[in-house]
A and B are shown apart, each in its own frame.
Chain A
Amino acid sequence: MSTGLNVETIKTDVLIIGGGTAGCYAAYVLGHSGKYDVLIAEKANIKRSGCLAAGVNAINAYITEGRVPMDYVDYAKNDAKGIVREDLLLSMSEGLNEVTKVLEDNGLVILKDENGKYVTRGNRNIKINGENIKPILAKMASGQSNVKVLNHINITDYIVQNNEIYGAVGFDVNEKKAYIIKAKTVLAATGGAAGLYRPNNPGFSRHKMWYPPFNTGAGYAMGIRAGAEMTTFEMRFIALRCKDTIAPTGTIAQGVKAKQMNGLGEIYETKYGVATCERVYGTTKENQEGRGPCYLKTDEITKEQEEELYKAYLNMAPSQTLKWLEGGQGPATQNVEIEGTEPYIVGGHTASGYWIDNNRATTVKGLYAAGDVAGGAPQKYVTGAIVEGKIAGQSIEHFLDEENKNDSDKYKISDKDFESEALKYIKKYNIFLENKESLITIEQAEETMQKIMDTYAGGIGSNYQYNETGLNLAKEKLEGLIDVVESLHAGDMDDLLQIYEIKERMTVCFSVIEHLKARKETRWHSFAENMNYPDESDDFNKYINSYSKDGKINVITRELVDAKHKLLFSFDDNNNVHFGGDV
C-alpha cells in the first residue's frame, strides 16, 4: 500500500492506556513495587494531558476530621438518588486521605492551619494550590525504571479473543507509524467522553468546555466493541458553570458563599434541591420559564475577595480571570452569569462506565478500568480517580502473580495469531489514509453528530429533555452518519486521530441512547430527563447495564450492590465471567 504505515510491535506485562490521573497513579504503584514492566500509551503527553491540564482548585474528595469513609459513600449515594455501587465507593473512600498525603509528599501544596492540619472547605474538601498537580503525577509515574511512557500514541482497539485481552493497537498521532502492543494485562484509563453533544460555544470557542475536549470516550468505545459490560450511561453529567468560559462555579459558591439568583433577583437554589443534578435543573428551569438569565450573586463580595478569586481562577481556569479583567468588571461589581454545559459521559462525576468488580477488573479477563472510564462510583474527583488507579495497579500485580504461579504462559496467543488479528485494525487506518477527499469534511461529520444528539437526545438545545420517539430518531440519524464517517479522508495522522475520535464518540452515543431509553423514569432531573416518564419510579432502583454482541447492544438490569457486599468477578475455563464475592 502506498500509504502503508510502519508497524512496531512492543511487548509488556502491563499496558496502561491513558496517562491521566488514574493511569499515572497506577503506573506509580506498579513502578514502586517494581515486579512488572509497565507501558503507558498516551494520546498527548502525560505532563499535562487529561482533566488536570490547567490545574484543579481543591481536593474535593477527602475524609475530613470527624467524618468516616461511609459518610462519603452516603453523600455520593444521595446525590445520585441511590444508583451507585456502594462497594466501589467505600473502597475508594477508604483510600482518599492516604493518596492525598502521597501527593503532598511529592510536592502538592496543601493549605494548613497553625496546628499543621489541612484547612477544609466544606465537609469533604481541602484547600490546595493545584496548578501543578498533573506535572507532579506525571513525574511520579515516569521516574521509575520499569515504567516506559509512549507519548503521542492513540490506542484505538483492544485485541480480545474469547473474552480475554491480549493487548491493543494504535497509531502515532504525528508519524506514519502503527503500534501493536502485546500485553499480559491492560488498564483502561482513558477518561470519559466530551463532544458527544453540541457544545455551549459552537463557534470559534467550541472547545472551551468543562471536560477535556480531547477525552473522546476511546476507552468506553473499545470496551463496548470488545463486549465488556457497561453501566449507567444514562446518568449523564452536566456541569453548572460560569457562562461562556465554562469555568467552575464551586469556587465562588463555596468560597465566597454566593447564591444562585435569577433575572428577577430571586434566590432560587433552595427551590429545586441541592443535588448536583438539581442545581443544573433549577437554572435550566428558571431560564425555560422566562426568569433568566441566572447568576451567582457575587456583587456583595469585597475587593480582597475578588483579588483572591482572580488568583484562584488563574490556577485552574485562566480564561475566567481574563474575562473579568478584559471586561473591566470583576465579580465584586458584576454578578457572575451561569449556565449548564452540554452533557458529558464521565464516571468520575456520575456512575457511567465499565461495570467493574471491587478489584477494578472488568468483565473481560485481564482488562481493568480506573478513573472516569470506570462506572459505579460517582463523585470520585481527582483523589477518587487516584485511589482507583492504586487499587487497579495492586489488582493487576496480584493477577500477574497468580498467573505466574500457575506457570501458565500468559501470552497464550501466538505472536503470529496476535499480529494477524492486530493487522486487521491497522488495515483500517490505511483505508482512511487512502479514502478519496470529498466535500464532506471531518468537521462536518462531528458537527452533524453533535447536532443529532443535541436535538433528539437531550442536549442544551432541548433543555436536556428527550423522549423515546426522539431517541429512536437520533439512533436512525446516527446510523445514517456511519457511512459518511467511514468514507472520510485522512490527509495525515492528525486527521486520522480526529476521525477515530468521531468514531469512538459515535459508538458511545449509540450506547447512551439505549441506556436513556431503558431507564423509564426521571430520577435525575436534567441528567436524564425522560419526558415520557417524568417521575421517579421504584421499579428502577437498579442499574441499567449493557453489553454489545455481534454489533447489537443488549440492555440488562442488575440489582443494587450495597457497602456490605463486595462484588468480585471470576472467570471459568471458558473465560465466562461469574459474579462472586459476597453478592
Chain B
Amino acid sequence: MSIFINGQKCAGCRKCVEVCPGNLIKIQNGKAVIKREKDCWGCTSCLKECKTGAISFFLGADMGGKGSVLSVDEAGDERKWTVTAPDGTEKTIVVNTKESNKY
C-alpha cells in the first residue's frame, strides 16, 4: 500500500511534502516523489492536500491490490472519492464533510 504521484500533473508546490506525517515526500527536479513507498501509512493526507489531483493511493498486492487507484476531489463541502480500475472503469463515492458518520 502506498501512493502514486503523477509527475505530469504535479505542480511542484510542496504541499504534500509539507503535510506528510512520515516526512516521506521530497521534490526532485521540480516534482514530488515518494522516498520509500513501503513506508507510507496510507493516511491520504497528501491526496487531500494536492490541488492538481496528481496523487493517488493504491493497495499493494499483499493487501489484495489489483492495480486500482483511489483519488479524491474536493468541491465545497463535498469530497468526491473515486476508485479507478486498471481498465479505466470508475466508482465514485461522495462524502459530505458537514455530515457525521452514521456509524
Residues of A within 8 A of B (CB): 43-45, 47-50, 53-54, 57-58, 109-111, 119, 121, 127-132, 151-152, 173-174, 201, 203-209, 212-214, 244-245, 251-252, 254-256, 307-312, 314-315, 317-319, 321-323, 325-327, 494, 497
Contacts and interface: CB of A to CB of B under 8 A. Distances in A.
Contacts of A205: 1-2, 38, 59-60, 62-63
A44 B81 contact: no
Give the most central of B44, B83, B100: most A CB within 10 Å.
B100
B35 interface: yes
Interface of B: prevailing SS: loop
Given A310-B93, A325-B91, A326-B85, A319 B102 contact: no
18 contacts: A43-B23, A44-B20, A45-B19, A53-B45, A57-B101, A130-B101, A204-B62, A205-B62, A208-B41, A214-B41, A252-B103, A308-B101, A309-B103, A322-B68, A325-B83, A325-B91, A326-B59, A326-B83
A308 B103 contact: yes
B13 interface: no
Nearest to A255: B103
B64 A54 contact: no
Given A212-B21, A319-B1, 18 more contacts: A173-B23, A201-B62, A204-B60, A205-B62, A206-B38, A206-B39, A207-B38, A209-B41, A251-B103, A254-B103, A308-B101, A308-B103, A315-B101, A317-B42, A322-B57, A322-B70, A323-B64, A326-B83
B43 A53 contact: yes
A388 B100 CA distance: 26
A315 B99 CA distance: 11
Contacts of A173: 23
Contacts of A44: 20-23
List 7 A-B pairs, minimum CB-CB distance, nearest first.
Answer: A255-B103, A111-B100, A53-B43, A204-B60, A48-B45, A54-B43, A326-B68
A201 B99 CA distance: 33
B43 A315 contact: no
Contact of B21 (A49, A130, A208, A307): A49
Given A323-B59, A325-B68, A326-B64, A312 B101 contact: yes
A129 B97 contact: yes
Nearest to B63: A244
Nearest to A208: B1
Given A205-B1, A494-B23, A54 B40 contact: no
Nearest to B70: A322
A378 B27 CA distance: 41
A315 to B, nearest CB: 6
Interface string B48-78: 0000000001111111111010100000000
Nearest to B69: A322
Contacts of A48: 19-21, 43, 45
B81 A314 contact: yes
B28 to A, nearest CB: 13
Contacts of B1: 201, 204-205, 207-208, 245, 319
Interface in B1-53: 1-2, 18-23, 35, 37-45
Given A48-B43, A54-B43, A309-B103, A319 B23 contact: no
A49 B79 CA distance: 21
Given A206-B38, A244-B63, A326-B85, A127 B101 contact: yes
A49 B41 CA distance: 11
A322 B59 contact: yes
Contacts of B45: 47-48, 53-54
Interface string B85-101: 10000010101011111
A311 B37 CA distance: 26
A129 B101 contact: yes
Contacts of B62: 201, 203-205, 244
Contacts of B35: 494
B53 to A, nearest CB: 16
A319 B63 contact: yes
Nearest to A213: B41
A319 B101 contact: no
Contacts of B79: 131, 314
Give the most central of A131, A207, A307: most B CB within 10 Å.
A207
A318 B95 CA distance: 12
A53 B59 CA distance: 18
Contacts of A132: 97
A322 B101 contact: no
A207 B34 CA distance: 14
B103 A121 contact: yes
Contact of B97 (A109, A203, A244, A318): A109
B63 A54 contact: no
B18 A45 contact: yes
Contact of B99 (A50, A129, A321): A129
A244 to B, nearest CB: 4
Contacts of B83: 322, 325-326
A50 B21 contact: yes
A318 B91 CA distance: 14
A321 B93 CA distance: 10
